[in-house]
Amino acid sequence: MFSSRIKNLHPYIPGEQPTDREYIKLNANENPFLPHPKVLEAICQATKNPALLSRYPDPDANELRSAIANFLNKTGGVLCTTQNENGKIFPQNDLGFTITPEMIFCGNGSDEVLSFVFYTFFDSSVPLVLPEFTYSFYPVYCGYYGISQNKIPLKNDWTLDTEKIVAEAKKTKSPIVFANPNAPTGKALSNLQIKAILEQLDKNQVLVVDEAYADFADESCICLLKDFENLIVVRTFSKSLSFAGMRLGFVVANPKLIDSLFTAKNSFNHFPVDSITQKAGIASTEQIDYYAQNAKLIVQERERLFDFLTQNSWSPIKSKTNFVFTKKDGRGGREIYEAVKKEGILIRHFNTSGIEDFVRISIGTKNQQDQLLRILKQL
């Protein structure tokens, strides 16, 4: 009855979404702040136009692609950097060129976008090079598409071993994928390091950089698209734009690569992004100040949590994201997760050899962080 394919699938396990009681949710890297009121207004407006529901959406989401291109040209790909001397929060990074709508591909969350990227650019005959610890959905897609993996261990300080990654990729002419900043470690490579990787690859050897958390970091590698046509940047609305429940992710890349993604999409599902999500997504891109301010608050709270942990004999990894990956000597990760859960706060523990001592704590509001710190102190 079942295909041989399905027997070999090992699905991704997301952070739990329990309904048994009200938890403070610091387990799925969701944004603790609500979407901007204009986004809700866009959704209400959409529901007043029933034809929007009875008709198919724009299959290519062209208005949304333009809005995203605009958004990136204004922010430079990073919401959260420090204010300039005039107190202005954006544009922080001049990209040095203009992102056009033809460089954008939208999908139903970046998870789906990643699935199209895997299908379009990775072959089953060539092993994919990826870090040993990175977003755990990548190995799942490898199983789904029958792509073999060459996993490169992280360095002792939890950073990506870029020399080894490049050396292995060159050996087999392999494509490369990683998250930057990386998950679940929270560590980031600089643009100089990403550029150095790209300079060593063949022109047709693809590097996929998943920037789910770039808005909480110092830089985005989107500016490198100017010089490298083999770079594919994957982004999501879920984290920095408080949009995890709506499902919207996108790719930024050279138009030629985007065309191929459209071919993959149109061979699977013409309409991955529904009409309401398209409208709400556009409205989100128009509230840069609001989301930049939220990102800034999250970064402040992240630094406060990091300082608390280092001062209370934990061993956190310095993070460029909206979470902190940490352990405490003499305590198991599972034990910490359970103790914190009993007090009404959910954090994430991975039952994965090599990181089982760690917990990943998403950054909440100041009030949520206060409660978290109180509980961590009692541990």
Q: Which residues bind ligand PLP (CB under 6 A)?
A: 29, 109-111, 135, 179, 183, 210, 212, 236, 238, 244, 249
Whole-number minimum distance, CB 143 to ligand PLP, in Å?
17
The alpha helices in the chain, defined as continuous H runs, are: 4-7, 37-47, 51-54, 62-75, 110-121, 137-145, 162-172, 191-200, 255-265, 275-285, 288-311, 333-342, 366-378
| Closer CB to ligand PLP, 238 or 319, in the complex | 238
- Closer residue to ligand PLP (CB): 92 or 322: 322
Given the complex with ligand PLP, which of 183 and 376 has the nearer CB atom? 183
- In the bound complex, what is the minimum distance in angstroms from residue 350's beta carbon to ligand PLP? 13
Rounded to a whole number of angstroms, the minimum distance from the CB of residue 31 to ligand PLP is: 11
Cα separation, 251 vs 211, whole angstroms:
10
Q: What is the DSSP string of 235-271?
A: EESTTTTS-TTT--EEEE--HHHHHHHHHHHTTT-S-
Q: What is the pairing mode between strands 345-346 and 24-25? A: parallel
Q: How far apart are CA 311 and CA 305, in angstroms?
A: 10
Question: 139: exposed, middle or buried (C-beta count within 10 Å: 0-12, 13-18, 19+)?
Answer: middle
In the complex, minimum distance from the CB of residue 82 to ligand PLP, in angstroms, rounded to a whole number: 24
Q: To the nearest whole angstrom, how small is the minimum distance from the Cβ of residue 238 to ligand PLP?
A: 3
Q: Give 212 or 257: the residue with its C-beta nearer to ligand PLP.
A: 212
In the complex, the smallest distance separating the C-beta of residue 239 from ligand PLP, rounded to whole angstroms, is 6
Smaller CB distance to ligand PLP: residue 89 or 324?
324
- Asked if residue 221 lies in contact with residue 233, where contact means CB atoms within 8 angstroms, the answer is yes
Considering the complex, state which of residue 272 and residue 333 has its C-beta at the smaller distance from ligand PLP: 272
CB 329, min distance to ligand PLP, A: 27
Nearer to ligand PLP, 27 or 110 (CB): 110
Among 234, 235, 212, 225, which residue's Cα sits nearest to residue 256? 225
Please name which of 302, 11, 288 lies closest in space to residue 143, comparing C-alpha atoms: 11
- Residue written as token pair 């020399």: 163
Instruction: Name every residue whose Cβ is closer than 8 Å to that of residue 98 and which is 6 or more positions away in sequence.
Output: 69, 73
